[in-house]
Structure formats: C-alpha cells, structure tokens
Amino acid sequence: MADTSVFSKIRAGEIPGEIVHETERVFVLRDIAPKAPVHLLVVPKTEQYRNVGELAAGDPDLLAEVIAVAGEVADGDFRLIFNTGEDAGQTVFHVHAHVLAGGLTEGSLG
Ligand code: 5GP
C-alpha cells in the first residue's frame, strides 16, 4: 500500500513535522495541535492498520511496541489515547497512539 497518510508524508519529508524518536517499526512525532504540554503521536510505520482494533488483531507485537515506545517518550506519567472511529474523533485513519503528558492533574477520567 502506498504511504499516503499525513503521518507518512511527514516521515517521508514531504510535509513539515517534527519526528522526535524512531524504532525499526514505529516513529513518534509532535502533534501539530497539542492538547497537553507534551502531546506526541506514536505511529507504526506500516499504514496497514486503520485503528487500534485492527492493529490488536493483526499484529499484537506491534501494538505492544507502540505502547512501550509511548512510555519511553513520555518520560514520566502519561495518558494514552487511541481515538477509534469518526464518532470518537478519529481524523487520521493510520493507527496512532496519542501520548499526553506534563501536567494532567486537571480533567482526569478517573
Ligand atoms: P485523531 O483525531 O485521528 O486521533 O488524531 C490525529 C492527530 O493528528 C490530531 O491530534 C492532529 O492534531 C494531528 N495532526 C493532523 N495533521 C497533522 C500534521 O500535519 N502534523 C502533525 N504534526 N500533526 C497533525
């Protein structure tokens, strides 16, 4: 499948964006519209999976890597969000984890 998502375009250098970390299978970029002091997106390099459900079913090891990398780049306490489907606010259908960190004591879901 051609790499056509906005995240893949950033990775390819076709549009601007700040990639802050990379492993063999995932990359991490800074969200253009941060919702927290730290707001990163952990993205598998493959575009094969549109959402976290597809990723869990198709490649659980890759999902585990996304989560592990989220913990590494957060460098402290963090919130992990996978918007799944349009009605949940998903706008980019290339699976990605939102890592929110840095002063999240307001607005806890708990
Ligand atoms: P979703 O709504 O699909 O869960 O998340 C997509 C995220 O991608 C949003 O938080 C949005 O701000 C971010 N985003 C969309 N376009 C760009 C872009 O061109 N550059 C960067 N760095 N982030 C983007």
pLDDT (tens digit per residue) in 61-90 = 999 999 999 999 998 999 999 999 999 999
Q: How far apart are the first and last CA of the chain?
A: 39
- Report d(CA 77, CA 97) in Å as an integer: 15
Atom of ligand 1 minimally distant from the CA of 15: 19
Q: Which residue has a Cα nearest atom 12 of ligand 1? A: 33
Q: What is the pLDDT of residues 31-72, one digit of tens each?
A: 999 999 999 999 999 999 999 999 999 999 999 999 999 999
Distance 105 CA to ligand 1 centre (A): 23
Ligand 1 pocket, CB under 6 A: 6, 10, 17, 29-33, 83, 89-92
Contact status, residue 69 vs residue 23, Cβ threshold 8 Å: yes
- Please report the domains of the chain, with CATH numbers, ordered by start residue: 6-101 (3.30.428.10)
Q: Of the candidates 43, 13, 12, which has an alpha carbon nearest to the alpha carbon of residue 27?
A: 43
Is residue 96 annotated as part of the catalytic site, yes or no?
Answer: yes
